[in-house]
Amino acid sequence: MPKSEKWGALKSEWPLLSYYQRFEGLVALVLTFIVGLIILVALYRLASAVVKGLLWGVLDPLDPRVFQTVFGEIMTLLIALEFNHTLQYVARREQSIIQTKVVLLIALLAVARKFIVLELATVTPGELLGLAAITLVLGVVYWLMRERDDRPVPLSGQSTRTVL
């Protein structure tokens, strides 16, 4: 369904929504706007800093610190975009609440960003072990949820038991 039809469906369903559903939709719309504004400002600042740095020769893309900083900011933008995309589902009433799998993916993106910007010279083994454990746990939980959701639904009248 095209985006305009989805927003039109929300508009036509508006009188049927409870007060709390309307409140939830309005909050999601306001948050979508705010996060979108943050994304635009961050994108402008990142693009202008990279272009100016490259043109004036002060930005060396092969320098590991520059690489970490630029790609850390890019990952931050990707996290914000995914978060905004999730809020749009709530605003359009396609999902009543933010789905757990999406939150796990956003958390995995945040941990990946942390690994990118991590200063290996200053990180302790305990911190590195903690980040690795968090990554493993988030990945396993996401995998388990995906396995649960991807399981075929048995047709009515069919047994869920398998014959060996």
pLDDT by position in tens, the chain (length 164)? 555 555 555 566 767 777 877 787 788 888 889 999 999 999 999 999 888 888 887 777 778 888 888 888 999 999 999 888 888 776 666 655 557 788 888 899 999 999 888 888 899 999 999 999 999 999 999 898 888 877 776 666 665 555 44
Q: What's this model's pTM, rounded to 2 decimal places? A: 0.67
Residue 164 confidence (pLDDT)? 45
Residue 6 confidence (pLDDT)? 52
Phi then psi for residue 57, to 5 deg, are: 75, 10
Q: What whole-number distance in Å separates Cα of residue 125 and Cα of residue 109?
A: 22
Q: What residue segments make up the domains of the chain, in order of their start?
A: 3-150
Q: What whole-number distance in Å separates Cα of residue 45 and Cα of residue 51?
A: 10
Largest CA distance in the chain: 71
